[in-house]
Structure 1
Amino acid sequence: MSAPRGQFSTNIGFLMAAAGSAVGLGNIWGFPTKAAGNGGAAFVVVYLFLAFALAYPALMAELTIGRYARRNMVQALRIISNGPVSRFFGGLTGFVGILVASLVLSFYAIVAGWMVAHLAEPFAALFGAQGAAQWLTDNSTERNLLFTAIFSGLTMLIIASGVEKGIERWSTLLMPSLIILLLSLIGYVLTQPGALSGLEVYLMPDFSHFTPKLLISALGQAFFSLSLGVGTMLIYGSYLSQQESLPRLGALVTLIDVGIAFTAGLLILPAMYVAQEAGSQIFSASGELIAGPDLILQVLPALFDTMGKAGIVVAITFFALMVIASLTSSISMLEVPVAFSIENLGIPRRIATPAVGLIIFGISTVIITHFDTLFGLAVSISTEYGQPLLGIALCLFAGWVWRRDQLLAELKKGHPNIEQTLFWRIWPWYVRIVCPLLIMTAFVHSVI
């Protein structure tokens, strides 16, 4: 029987939902392209180390606060605060987190809409609708509005169904599908000319590429890849059973996240060098990597075209992978403001979900109609400023504001001997001091 506010019914359901939140376009695309632009395997080694040195401790802060408070981000931070000043800043931090999550989703849905359009394009070509196929790949306002609306609708449908029947059920279906598609594509791409060159760059470390830029880039990727800072993991933690061991679950989520990110690199980097072998340009004239949507939506489709009929199947599989990765992340982002609307405003889920979803779609519409001005600004405000500052705040609340005895009591649920573990000897002071300093370092360098 579900708890009144919803609860994950199984460990697997939580792991798939939490991993799905973390595994999105940032992992499938962002991690491999950052690796390609920062020394390949050298970046991978540093990233894997920092994922556990930084991301795991910050993840544990969110999960522990969420399960203790069993509320949305605003109420959770107020509950663990001890006085009027800390409660005020807790509420403010939580509200900013909701706004940042909504802003991230507003531009994320646009990019995900591009993936849906490109997924539809091969089907249009198969049925001979060349005009429709061309329209689907042209970057027009009308196309962007339509497919952002389609993707936003899919996200709303899942969230409206609740925790067990929506988030858990769909994450449990989508994540294994994502892994199967990813492995299938890797198997195919590695048989193509040029793939081994990409694989060598990805797997053979050359530490002459180790620079402060690489370190900061890996630091940022390790933190952002787990969807930290905007309350998604805090919300998911609030739906966890109190019989579960949080340190163990947090470690599993981190392992799954970095594992899929690493596996995605086995696809993207070889695919880039296969595209280069086929005549596509993956590096600019100055030697910089052509990253982001330009590479996804121009270079790889050009590669698929060189594969003949097999290219249609590969294109469908690739963009299906991208849509699934987008969807598993978007549902966690939408749940952040929806949970606030349900618990603070008393709005039923089936009303709160479309209401909040339509507001976010309205923001997406404004961004689409003023794309050149607002898209980059929305990305910068939310990911370069909002997420790291919120991440620092959450670590400070877990490490300095929350009473130590309450924190220990919460961690003991599901892990009674936590006081005797290495985790408890390190994590409390680590999340107090080391995590905020590391995140602040990455933030300052990214802004400068």
Structure 2
Amino acid sequence: MSSVRGEFSSRFGFIMAAAGSAVGLGNIWGFPTQTASNGGAAFVLVYLVLAFCLAYPALMAELVIGRHGQANAVSSLKKIAPNQPKAAFVVGFGGIICAGLILSFYAIVAGWMLSATLSPIAEISQLSATATWLNTQSLGRDLIFTAIFIMMTIAIISKGVENGIEKWSKRLMPALLGILAALIAYVLTQDGAEAGLKAYLVPDFSQILNPDLLVSALGQAFFSLSLGTSVMIIYGSYISKQENLVSLGAYVTLIDVLIAFVAGLLIIPAMYVAQEQGVQIFSETGALLSEDTLVFQVLPALFNSMGDIGYLVALAFFALMSIAALTSSISMLEAPVSYTVENFGMNRLQATWIIGGLISIISFVIVFNFSTLFGFVISLTTQFGQPLIGMLCCIFVGWMWSRHKLLTEIQMGYGDVEHSVFWKIWPWYIKFVCPIAIALVFFNSL
């Protein structure tokens, strides 16, 4: 690989970066909310099945495309299907557009996290007017903190692969895990936590085949693993040819699923603790109230009930959310930046600021038209764009790439793969099962 493109310097660095991309607000904000909205433990069970049966094989397809191509998503897809340049462009560039649109709404939510992180500091400093402003959704607050978050993302991506993405992922991911563990230990000691654990861990099997639940679980699995956005194709292109892709993909999937599950151990019991203290969580019909803003309405009420210690718990929790958002946003910005650098000859710093500026403009448009565009962009990208593009990547690997060349690529880091259980199952699975299963869930969502 050319040193100009950059490369992850270690196996640990890639796992932390890829897991950082996968582990974000989708796990800690989205997954618990989806769980609470879709049957609790039944959703968790379906999510776990789909993560390993559909998301992991699709993740492997994207990683192997990237490492073989050693380039951005469009160029990598063209290398495995040279006779289908238009199709390769549509799929690769579609993923890049999807990543940019996700970052545009993601930056808004991450901005809420940043303002919520500063709020307890303002309270402790007795700046009550500032704290109220930080806690109240407004045009000014949302524009300011969205811009701050995007600039933080730009600052990391402009440093490149090893000194930017890898360096900060190694720092942020362990910090995220430490804060998460401490918060879970605290919440599980509170009244009401036991009821939350029961709702989270004991499934109602009658809900498992609910079409809405299936669509939500598949979308969540793809969203949390950053599939269908060209992100994992790009990260795959930065992996050394000597690395074992099969185990790397498995590690990333396991870490992603584990943190989503562990995040649920925090949020779902916390909801029931808040309910025990008089906060209304569900409507009279049993529907979850305030889905998109759950953590900003329910959890602050819980933190306020804790007295002075609540300020520190709130600070730790929203700092955790901000870290999770940043580890994912850097991968989403990398997808369009790498394409711009390699296709237009720009230097990385210039490309990062231009792409970051364009995404900022889209974010600001969403903020100005929040009620119309925010939910629409989320649905467009996570429920439709990502599964569709992920399915097309599976088709590229399964139908347009010769089995021999595919085996040769994987053998570079796993010489005995031909005799493994993975190789006996994955090639035909990615060719038939994944596209059909994803298509069925996708068309059902239409």
TM-score by length of 1: 0.97
Secondary structure at the aligned position of 1:443 is classed as helix
Correspondence for 1:237? 236
Correspondence for 2:333? 334
Cα distance between partner residues in 2 of 1:382 and 1:209? 25
Q: Give 1:378's aligned amino acid.
A: V
Q: Give 2:375's aligned amino acid.
A: G
Cα distance between partner residues in 2 of 1:216 and 1:96? 21
Correspondence for 2:92? 94
Aligned length: 445
Correspondence for 1:215? 214
**Is contact 1:141–1:368 with CA below 8 Å preserved after alignment?**
yes
Report the CA distance between 1:48 and its aligned residue: 1.6
Q: Which of residues 123, 126, 132 in structure 2 aligns to 1:125?
A: 123
**Is contact 2:222–2:386 with CA below 8 Å preserved after alignment?**
no
Cα distance between partner residues in 2 of 1:286 and 1:440? 32
Cα distance between partner residues in 1 of 2:379 and 2:264? 25
Question: 5 Å matches for 1:49-64?
Answer: 49-64=49-64
Cα distance between partner residues in 2 of 1:317 and 1:74? 40
Question: 5 Å matches for 1:57-72?
Answer: 57-72=57-72
Correspondence for 2:224? 225
Q: Give 1:425's aligned amino acid.
A: K
The 1:291/1:372 distance shift into structure 2, 3 A limit, reads: closer
Q: Give 2:41's aligned amino acid.
A: A
**Which runs of 5 or more residues in structure 2 are unaligned?**
none
Correspondence for 1:362? 361
**Is contact 2:219–2:383 with CA below 8 Å preserved after alignment?**
no
**Is contact 2:24–2:328 with CA below 8 Å preserved after alignment?**
yes
Cα distance between partner residues in 2 of 1:301 and 1:258? 26
Correspondence for 1:304? 303
Correspondence for 2:423? 424
| Structure 2 residue 370 is the aligned partner of structure 1 residue 371 | yes
Cα distance between partner residues in 2 of 1:126 and 1:412? 57
Q: Give 2:282's aligned amino acid.
A: F
Cα distance between partner residues in 2 of 1:130 and 1:75? 53
Secondary structure at the aligned position of 2:384 is classed as helix
Secondary structure at the aligned position of 1:289 is classed as coil
- Cα RMSD (Å) of the superposition? 1.4
**Is contact 2:157–2:352 with CA below 8 Å preserved after alignment?**
yes
Correspondence for 2:252? 253
**Which runs of 5 or more residues in structure 1 are unaligned?**
none
Cα distance between partner residues in 1 of 2:204 and 2:133? 43
Cα distance between partner residues in 2 of 1:434 and 1:336? 27
Deviations 1:112-145 (A, max 9, x none): 0011011111111111111111111111111000
Q: Give 1:74's aligned amino acid.
A: V
Correspondence for 2:20? 20
Q: Give 2:283's aligned amino acid.
A: S
Deviations 1:185-220 (A, max 9, x none): 000001111011101111223323333233333233
**Is contact 1:400–1:432 with CA below 8 Å preserved after alignment?**
yes
Question: 5 Å matches for 1:30-429?
Answer: 30-83=30-83, 86-213=84-211, 214-429=213-428
Cα distance between partner residues in 2 of 1:142 and 1:119? 17
Deviations 1:351-399 (A, max 9, x none): 1111110110011111111212221222222222211211111111111
Report the CA distance between 1:91 and its aligned residue: 1.2
Report the CA distance between 1:44 and its aligned residue: 1.9
Cα distance between partner residues in 1 of 2:202 and 2:388? 34
**Is contact 1:220–1:442 with CA below 8 Å preserved after alignment?**
no
Report the CA distance between 1:2 and its aligned residue: 8.2
Cα distance between partner residues in 2 of 1:117 and 1:347? 34
Deviations 1:312-344 (A, max 9, x none): 011001101110110011000000000001100
Deviations 1:72-107 (A, max 9, x none): 111111111131xx1111012211111111111011
Report the CA distance between 1:283 and its aligned residue: 0.6
Report the CA distance between 1:405 and its aligned residue: 1.8
Cα distance between partner residues in 2 of 1:205 and 1:284? 21
**Is contact 2:33–2:292 with CA below 8 Å preserved after alignment?**
no
The 1:378/1:215 distance shift into structure 2, 3 A limit, reads: closer
**Is contact 2:81–2:401 with CA below 8 Å preserved after alignment?**
yes
Cα distance between partner residues in 1 of 2:391 and 2:97? 17
